[in-house]
C-alpha cells in the first residue's frame, strides 16, 4: 500500500515537473513572438484596409463609427484629415466557418472594393471567392443588384460554391445597409 502511494506521488511529481518545464518554454516563446505577431496582424489589417479604400491614409481607433459584435465600421481619412470613405468589416457564416469581409465605400456610398479578410472555405472551390474574378464584380453595384444571377441578380457565383458566394454577398450587403441609411444618422466623431 505504501509503495503505491509512493508511486503515485512520484508520478505526480514527474508530470508536474514536465508540465512546468513545458509551460516555461511556451511562456518564453510567447513573450518573444507576441510583439511580432501583433505587428504582423496590424500590418495585414492596415494593408487590407488600404486596399479596399486606396484614397484613405489613416484609419485611427477613434475613427470607428460604430462597433458591434459582428460589424465594425471605420471612417477613413486622407492625409489632410479629409474624410474620404468608410469601411465595413462584416462577418457571415460561409460553408465551413464565418467569412470575414471588408467593404470599402467612398463618400457617395459607392463600393470601391471588396476584400475577403478571412475564410476557411474549401480550397479550390469556396476559397475562390478570394479571386479577383469574383470580387471585381462588386465595385459600383447598388444594393439591389447584389444578388447571384440564379437569384435574379448580377453577380456570377464561383463555380461549385454557391453557399460561399451567397455568404460573401450577404456580408457585403450587411455592411452597405448601414451606409445607405448613413445620411440620416451621421455618427462620425470628427
Partner 1 sequence: MNNSNKRSWRDDFAFGILKGNPVLVLMIGLCPTLAVSVTLFNAVGMSIAVAFVLIGSNLMVSAIRKFTPSELRIPIFIIVICTFVTIADYLLKAYSPTLSQKLGVFVPLIVVNCIIIGRAEAFAYTNTVFSSLLDGIGGSIGFFLVISVIALIREFFGNGGIGEKIILNKPALIMILPPGGFITIGTLMGLMNYWNRRKKTRMSTN
Q: Which residues bind partner 1 (CB under 8 A)?
A: 11, 14-15, 18-19, 22, 25-26, 29-30, 33, 36-37, 40-41, 44, 118, 120, 122-125, 159-160
DSSP E strands in the chain: the ranges are 64-67, 72-77, 83-93, 98-106, 111-118
Of the two residues 44 and 78, which places its CB atom closer to partner 1 in the complex? 44
Closest approach, Cβ 120 to partner 1, in A, equals 6
Least distance in angstroms from the C-beta of 128 to partner 1: 10
**Minimum distance from CB of 56 to partner 1 (Å)?**
23
User: Which single residue is written with the C-alpha cell 511562456?
Assistant: 27
Count helices and strands in the chain by DSSP H and E runs: 3, 5
Residue nearer to partner 1 on the CB measure, 25 or 187 = 25
Reference 156, options 120, 177, 132, 124; nearest CA is 132
Q: State in angstroms the smallest separation of the CB of 189 from partner 1.
A: 31
Taking the complex as a whole, the smallest distance from the CB of residue 91 to partner 1 amounts, in Å, to 16
Residue closer to partner 1 (CB basis): 116 or 169: 116
Please state, in angstroms and rounded to a whole number, the distance separating the CA atoms of residues 185 and 143.
Answer: 19
Q: What is the DSSP letter of 82?
A: -
Q: Toward partner 1, which CB reaches closer, 44 or 187?
A: 44
Find out whether 155 and 146 touch, Cβ atoms under 8 Å. Answer: yes
Nearer to partner 1, 32 or 61 (CB): 32
* Strand-by-strand arrangement of the 111-118 sheet: 64-67, 72-77, 83-93, 98-106, 111-118
Amino acid at each position: 500500500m505504501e509503495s503505491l502511494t509512493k508511486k503515485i506521488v512520484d508520478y505526480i511529481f514527474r508530470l508536474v515537473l514536465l508540465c512546468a518545464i513545458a509551460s516555461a518554454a511556451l511562456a518564453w516563446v510567447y513573450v518573444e513572438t507576441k510583439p511580432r505577431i501583433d505587428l504582423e496582424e496590424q500590418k495585414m489589417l492596415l494593408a487590407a484596409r488600404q486596399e479596399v479604400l486606396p484614397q484613405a491614409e489613416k484609419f485611427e481607433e477613434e475613427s470607428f463609427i460604430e462597433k458591434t459584435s459582428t460589424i465594425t465600421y471605420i471612417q477613413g481619412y486622407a492625409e489632410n484629415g479629409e474624410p474620404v470613405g468608410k469601411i465595413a468589416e462584416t462577418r457571415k457564416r460561409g460553408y465551413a466557418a464565418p467569412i470575414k469581409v471588408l467593404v470599402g465605400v467612398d463618400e457617395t456610398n459607392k463600393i470601391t472594393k471588396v476584400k475577403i479578410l478571412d475564410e476557411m472555405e474549401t480550397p479550390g472551390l469556396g476559397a475562390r471567392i478570394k479571386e479577383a474574378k469574383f470580387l471585381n464584380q462588386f465595385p459600383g453595384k447598388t444594393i439591389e443588384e447584389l444578388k447571384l444571377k440564379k437569384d435574379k441578380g448580377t453577380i456570377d457565383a464561383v463555380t461549385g460554391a454557391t453557399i460561399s458566394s451567397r455568404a460573401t454577398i450577404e456580408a457585403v450587403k450587411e455592411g452597405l445597409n448601414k451606409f445607405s441609411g448613413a445620411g440620416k444618422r451621421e455618427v462620425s466623431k470628427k
